[in-house]
Amino acid sequence: MKEELADILRQAIPDLNEDEVHGLFDLFDTDKDGRISRDDFLCCLRKNPLLIALFSPRLLEKDFPIARDRMVEEIV
């Protein structure tokens, strides 16, 4: 899971190091269970709306597994 997040983040921030990835993973893992659930993800974006810019290219992808419109509504 952490590697997936690192891959996505490095598309927006290519020079991100492992400590920074770990810190962001901890930020997104709001319930501290070692995974980033959909609820963790949405909760973190609500608390840190500037992070939406990191994920906006991914959210616009046609094959993104979460319905984009519904996700945007839930974040707001």
DSSP code of 76?
A: -
CB atoms within 10 A of CB 41: 20
Instruction: Provide the pLDDT for residue 18.
Output: 93
**25's tokens:** 């993973």
* Domain count across the chain: 1
What are 34-73's pLDDT values in tens digits? 999 989 989 999 999 888 887 776 655 555 555 445 554 5
Instruction: Provide the pLDDT for residue 53.
Output: 80
DSSP string across 8-67: HHHHH-TT--HHHHHHHHHHH-TT-SSS--HHHHHHHHHH-GGGHHHHHHHHT-TT-SS-
d(CA 56, CA 35): 21
Domain extent, residue 45, equals 2-75
pTM: 0.69
What are 2-28's pLDDT values in tens digits? 888 888 888 888 899 999 999 999 999
Place of tokens 């997040």: 5
